[in-house]
């Protein structure tokens, strides 16, 4: 804390959302008058309008400063309240909780907690949780943004782990997809700006030329709702120009799993042999020129070192004859190509024709240039992909499972 005259400058952090931006609170004559960025703090390079407005919140005449008890019936159009002491408020609340637990069990109560992302509950959340658990109550009504639920839960269900943070400090290419970090996540935006200043390429997918879109090396101006087509188009270019990590797709995705041409279903061990495992998936080992089973339970192939096919049509000897199959990745690549404007895929053409993708050829050139930012000399773990989180699950799931789960 520094002090000059009656002015105090107190370092701390803004608690108005989960970003916890480092700041300096300026106190004049005992009153908070200003909140300023604290560049010496790791997240303190900038503050948003809400953080800067903290003095208005703190000093507002309508701010609730002490406990109130309702003295008119619920639903009264003119509700009346009386001020009570903190001790009385705590004793009343504890008494009522105990009464409810005794009469009907602690399960009769539900604790409701506001989101930590947009409120100052980030500090209080663990304490409410502790109270709930000490009370023996299993019911919590927690609000969470659609995007965060996707990030923490759906991503884990889809890919086996939560969405990690992008490695912006080391990346050579930042992709902001529908994500204007400068207005929605200030510390993240500061890190993106630092990455760009360091020389990282910046690709922004956004209908609007705002924030980082105006500074991007490549701005892809999609029309709302056409992101999926763009993602598949980018993937199509990356596959055609061999700008992707083939061994990663082979070893860490369901791309090698064979999909039957006759019914679009994943080939299983039971299709090969009457006594085969119906939950085992099948890939094609090019070296052995034979199928190789994948065990879902162990998450491994029956033999190591197999050179798994990712493309082409494969005749697999089944228990009832030859079954024509294609690897799931081959179907996915085909979908990406159909979304490529040059190849004239029907879906993409129709979207362009009805105006959903904007200028078809312009967008195509853009997606080609954007895809080329993922250049071969760029290590795969050096690309930071930052999505607006509510889109992530749909897009990834749709893209990766395209064809494989029909």
- Residue closer to ligand SF4 by CB (options 48, 203) is 48
Return the residue nearest ligand SF4 (CB atom): 51
CA atoms of 327 and 254, how far apart (whole Å): 9
Q: What is the nearest approach in angstroms of ligand SF4 to the Cβ of residue 392?
A: 21
Residue 266, classified by CB atoms within 10 Å of its CB into exposed (0-12), middle (13-18) or buried (19+), is: buried
- Of the candidates 156, 47, 117, 155, the one whose C-alpha atom is nearest the C-alpha of residue 389 is 155
* Residues 142, 170 contacting (CB under 8 angstroms): no
Please give the DSSP secondary-structure letter assigned to residue 308. Answer: B
Torsion 344-348-354-355 (CA) sign: negative
- Residue closer to ligand SF4 by CB (options 53, 243) is 53
- Residue closer to ligand SF4 by CB (options 122, 150) is 122
- Residue closer to ligand SF4 by CB (options 51, 233) is 51
C-alpha to C-alpha distances, 307 to 84, 227, 298, 312, nearest whole angstrom: 75, 34, 19, 14
Q: What is the nearest approach in angstroms of ligand SF4 to the Cβ of residue 51?
A: 2
Q: What is the nearest approach in angstroms of ligand SF4 to the Cβ of residue 145?
A: 14
- Residue closer to ligand SF4 by CB (options 36, 241) is 36
| Interacting residues with ligand SF4 (CB under 6 A) | 14, 16-17, 19-21, 47-48, 50-51, 186
C-alpha to C-alpha distances, 263 to 259, 283, 326, nearest whole angstrom: 8, 17, 12
Q: What is the nearest approach in angstroms of ligand SF4 to the Cβ of residue 24?
A: 12
Distance of CA 55 to the CA centre of its chain: 32
- Residue closer to ligand SF4 by CB (options 210, 322) is 210
Q: What is the nearest approach in angstroms of ligand SF4 to the Cβ of residue 40?
A: 16
Q: What is the nearest approach in angstroms of ligand SF4 to the Cβ of residue 357?
A: 33
* Residues 260, 281 contacting (CB under 8 angstroms): no
Q: What is the nearest approach in angstroms of ligand SF4 to the Cβ of residue 183?
A: 10
- Of the candidates 265, 259, 319, the one whose C-alpha atom is nearest the C-alpha of residue 284 is 259
- Residue closer to ligand SF4 by CB (options 47, 163) is 47
Half-sphere exposure (CA, 13 Å, Cβ side) for 283? 30
Torsion 79-85-88-94 (CA) sign: positive
């Amino acid at each position: 804390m520094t002090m000059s005259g009656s002015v105090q400058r107190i370092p701390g952090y803004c608690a108005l959302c989960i970003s916890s931006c480092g700041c300096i609170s300026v106190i004049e004559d005992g009153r908070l008058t200003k909140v300023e960025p604290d560049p010496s703090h790791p997240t303190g390079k900038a503050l948003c309008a809400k953080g800067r407005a903290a003095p208005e919140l703190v000093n507002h005449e309508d701010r609730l400063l002490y406990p109130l008890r309702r003295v008119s019936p619920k639903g009264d159009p003119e509700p009346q309240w009386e001020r009570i002491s903190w001790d009385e408020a705590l004793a009343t609340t504890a008494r009522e909780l105990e009464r409810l637990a005794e009469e009907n069990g602690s399960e009769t109560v539900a604790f409701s907690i506001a989101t930590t992302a947009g409120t100052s509950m980030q500090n209080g959340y663990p304490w409410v949780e502790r109270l709930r658990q000490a009370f023996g109550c299993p019911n919590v009504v927690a609000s969470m943004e659609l995007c965060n639920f996707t990030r923490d839960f759906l991503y884990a269900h889809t890919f086996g782990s939560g969405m990690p943070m992008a490695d912006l400090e080391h990346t050579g290419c930042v992709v902001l997809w529908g994500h204007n970090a400068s207005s929605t996540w200030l510390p993240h935006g500061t890190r993106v700006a630092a990455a760009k200043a360091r020389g990282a390429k910046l690709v922004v997918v956004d209908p609007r030329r705002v924030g980082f879109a105006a500074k991007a090396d490549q701005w892809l101006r999609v029309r709302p709702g056409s992101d999926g087509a763009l993602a598949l188009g980018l993937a199509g270019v990356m596959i055609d120009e061999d700008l992707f990590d083939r061994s990663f797709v082979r070893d860490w995705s369901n791309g090698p799993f064979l999909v039957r041409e006759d019914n679009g279903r994943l080939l299983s061990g039971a299709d090969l042999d009457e006594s085969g495992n119906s939950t085992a998936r099948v890939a094609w080992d090019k070296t052995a020129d034979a199928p190789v089973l994948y065990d879902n339970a162990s998450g491994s192939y029956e033999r190591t070192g197999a050179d798994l096919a990712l493309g082409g049509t494969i005749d697999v000897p089944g228990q009832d004859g030859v079954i024509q199959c294609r690897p799931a990745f081959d179907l996915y690549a085909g979908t990406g190509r159909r979304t490529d404007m040059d190849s004239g895929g029907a879906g993409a053409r129709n979207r362009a024709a009805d105006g959903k993708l904007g200028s078809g050829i312009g967008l195509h050139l853009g997606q080609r240039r954007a895809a080329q930012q993922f250049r071969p000399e760029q290590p795969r773990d050096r690309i930071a992909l930052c999505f607006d989180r509510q889109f992530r699950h749909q897009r990834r799931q749709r893209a990766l499972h395209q064809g494989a789960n029909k």
